[in-house]
Amino acid sequence: MYRLLIVDDEPIIVEGLSELFLQSDYPLEVYQAFDGMEALSIARKLRIDILMTDIEMPEMNGIELQKEVLRLWPRCKSIFLTGYNDFDYIQSSIRGGAIDYVLKTEGDDSIVASVEKAIRVIAEEVSYEGLIANARSSLKLALPALRKEYLTGLLEGEASPPATRRERFAQLEVPLDPDLPVVMAVGRIDRWREDATGGDKVLFAYSINNIFEEFVAVEFDLTYFRGDHERLVWLLQPKTESGYRQAIVGKPPLHAGAGAEADPEADLHAYLLGMLESMQDACSRYLKLACSFVVSSEPFAWDALASKYERLSRLFGRGLGLGSEMLLSDDRAKESGDEKARSKVKRIRLLDQYLMQKERAKFEQLFDEIAEAVGEPATLEAGLPLEVFYELSAIFIPHLNRFDALGAAAGHAVTSKLFSIREHRSWREVAGFFRELADLLFERMEGGNEQETSEVVEQLHRYVEAHIEGDLSLNRLAEHVYLTPFYLSRLYKQKTGHSISDYITRTRIESAKRLLGESALKIHEVGMRIGYDSPSYFTRFFKKATLLTPQEYRDSLK
């Protein structure tokens, strides 16, 4: 949608051209101004894509106006209208960047052609290729943050099929192979230096990564980012020429003879543990930081990233992991059924996002996966069921409050079931309760949106009917309902199936018919009552809609 501002000190020209483009199929929002100062006031509030202006106007002429509008909106395309075929004007306007110069005597076809040209030029400038090129340039600067966001999402269990993963790795320049297994190391700073401030902590984390890269960069490709709880996360793959490559490729080393019992995964694991031990010493010696590390005992597929991170993180919270400067691998804690369930449940935070974004299908699929992962536990008051129940309660309460679903008297039973797991007899009952709440929320969201849209449309109709003789520009209507002009136009059409200008036209015609039939007002007075100061333009407008002139219509009623 493009914004066209028509400026002329002759109202009949402005109104005629406005009607011409409002009734067309061009993607235009049309605004009117009757002098340069009024036009400039509009341009200060709204982006203007096409400026169609008379050159000769009092106070501020068209060329002066163009300069001011270009200062605000450098991409705006200007079309000059004039009644004089003056070469000096043509030169001045073209030097100022005008895209066309149209004589008023040339008629509508030339004016329409000039607007078509402006739209075409804008479309070419803002082409798909141009946008992509600009996006790529900006992407370079944002790559580290975007890479971290994507990899953090994988840690939290967001689905990323192989094809999607390949595409995202290429886009974000992740220096790892999306089709080969990966090794993970996770670090924790056990004790900060006493002189460390908030800003220093970020620098220390990057310093630890620098030490890590110095130790492993020769043998490994890697990427680093920060996980939850200020954890330091590294993902690694042996380089093609590395002696540890066969550990992830799955092929025996070429030098292994018959009967040789080569175990590349064990060799890789031993190397990483040794490297992390050296890292610990370097962090203590050079940074004066006590650090702990855990590492995966073997390479694993990308699909297992979330569950592997869950296992490694859990090592920090029990047994030896509670100490300082520890060094462990996950072969101490073989995967259990509870850990598999926890890796699925870890994605529970995405439910909040899906509720906020009204993504019902995604919400239901993930909720069912989480409910199934919990299973049918013997008790609800311990372990995974208890954790999931209160996680779900924390997610649902803000959303229920948004729709006043807890404030009513009927909400008392809902509140008690939200706050106490003892109100439920089984996990199946818990899952059913939250699923019903989700259905309620999605219905409230859909209904609330529909109701508010209806209220906006009704408010708009009342304003048009009450101000039929006044300013009914899209800008004024948008100000009245506190929306942007473009969004209001789209919202109205989605709700009613037709444009705001269609409704205004129908309302004006109905008002004109009523005044012509029920009052003794003169024709030009009727025109003024419905917003047309020019009698000739009102006559043309009325005849186009009814196939009769106002006088013919009045006579037909006698």
pLDDT score, position 269: 87
Contacts of 325 (CB under 8 A, 6+ apart): 190, 280, 284, 290, 291, 292
pLDDT score, position 159: 77
Q: Note whether 73 and 48 are within 8 A (CB).
A: yes
Residues 99, 212, single domain; the answer is no
Q: Note whether 344 and 370 are within 8 A (CB).
A: yes
> SS3 string of 144-176?
HHHHHHHHHHHHCCCCCCHHHHHHHHHHHCCCC
Q: Note whether 546 and 534 are within 8 A (CB).
A: no
Residues 292, 231, single domain; the answer is yes
- The domain that holds 542 is classified in CATH as 1.10.10.60
- Per-residue pLDDT of 538-551, as tens digits, reads 898 899 889 999 99
User: pLDDT band at residue 171, thresholds of 50, 70 and 90?
Assistant: confident
pLDDT score, position 105: 76
Residues 280, 149, single domain; the answer is yes
pLDDT score, position 529: 92
In what helix (H) or strand (E) does residue 20 lie, and over which residues does it extend?
Answer: helix 11-22
Residues 413, 315, single domain; the answer is no
- Distance between CA atoms of 186 and 248, rounded to whole angstroms? 19
Residues 348, 329, single domain; the answer is no
Residue 434 lies in a domain: yes
Residue 295 has pLDDT above 60, yes or no: yes
Residue 452 lies in a domain: no
Residue 132 lies in a domain: no
Query: Which among 334, 367, 391 is the end of a domain?
Result: 334
Residue 69 has pLDDT above 90, yes or no: yes
Residue of 532 and 301 predicted with greater confidence: 301
pLDDT score, position 409: 42
- Per-residue pLDDT of 388-403, as tens digits, reads 899 999 999 888 888 7
Q: Give how far Cα 233 sits from Cα of 247, 305, 358, Å.
A: 21, 12, 32
Q: Report which DSSP code applies to 532.
A: -
Place of tokens 């200008």: 501
- The domain that holds 72 is classified in CATH as 3.40.50.2300
Taking CA 490 as the corner, what is the angle to CA 487 and CA 495, rounded to the nearest 5 degrees? 120
Residue 459 lies in a domain: no
Mean pLDDT lowest for which of 72-76, 128-132, 167-171, 336-340?
Answer: 336-340
The strands making up 232-238's β-sheet, listed across from edge to edge, are 220-226, 232-238, 183-191, 290-295, 327-329
- Distance between CA atoms of 13 and 29, rounded to whole angstroms? 17
Residue 89 has pLDDT above 60, yes or no: no
Q: Note whether 279 and 212 are within 8 A (CB).
A: yes
Q: Note whether 325 and 292 are within 8 A (CB).
A: yes
Q: Note whether 283 and 211 are within 8 A (CB).
A: yes
Tokens of 418: 């939200």
Tokens of 297: 């005992």
Residues 168, 223, single domain; the answer is yes
Residue 175 has pLDDT above 90, yes or no: yes
pTM of the model: 0.51
pLDDT score, position 256: 45
- Per-residue pLDDT of 102-148, as tens digits, reads 887 777 888 999 999 998 888 877 666 666 677 777 767 788 888 88
Residue 112 lies in a domain: yes
Residues 295, 354, single domain; the answer is no
Residues 357, 505, single domain; the answer is no
Query: Which among 334, 353, 379 is the end of a domain?
Result: 334
pLDDT score, position 259: 46
Q: Report which DSSP code applies to 182.
A: B
- Per-residue pLDDT of 243-291, as tens digits, reads 788 888 775 544 444 444 567 888 888 899 999 999 999 999 988 899 9
- The domain that holds 149 is classified in CATH as 3.30.70.270
Q: How far out from the chain centre does Cα 381 lie? A: 40
Sequence-ordered strand ranges (E) for 66-219: 77-82, 98-103, 183-191
Q: How many domains does the structure of the chain reveal?
A: 4
Residue 22 lies in a domain: yes
- Distance between CA atoms of 283 and 278, rounded to whole angstroms? 9
Query: Which among 126, 154, 187 is the end of a domain?
Result: 126
Residue 23 has pLDDT above 90, yes or no: no
- DSSP string for 256-296: --TT----HHHHHHHHHHHHHHHHHHHIIIII--EEEEEE-
Contacts of 363-371 with CB under 8 Å at 24 or more apart are: 363/438, 363/442, 364/435, 364/438, 367/431, 367/434, 367/435, 367/438, 369/344, 370/344, 370/345, 371/427, 371/431, 371/435
The HSE-up count of residue 102 (CA atoms within 13 Å, CB side) is 24
Residues 151, 291, single domain; the answer is yes
Residues 164, 280, single domain; the answer is yes
The chain-wide mean pLDDT, for the chain, equals 84
Residue type, position 445, single letter: M
Residues 63, 150, single domain; the answer is no
Give mean pLDDT, residues 490-508: 89
Residues 191, 328, single domain; the answer is yes
pLDDT score, position 241: 80
Residue 456 lies in a domain: no
Residue 167 has pLDDT above 90, yes or no: yes
Domain that holds residue 224: 144-253+261-334
Share of the chain above pLDDT 90, in %: 32
Strands 183-191 and 232-238: antiparallel
Place of tokens 């012509």: 516
Residue 504 lies in a domain: yes
Mean pLDDT lowest for which of 260-269, 368-377, 489-498?
Answer: 260-269
> SS3 string of 475-518?
HHHHHHHCCCHHHHHHHHHHHHCCCHHHHHHHHHHHHHHHHHHH
pLDDT score, position 448: 65
Q: For residues 509, 515, 521 and 523, what is the CA-based torsion angle, rounded to 10 degrees? A: 20
Residue 200 has pLDDT above 80, yes or no: no
pLDDT score, position 260: 46
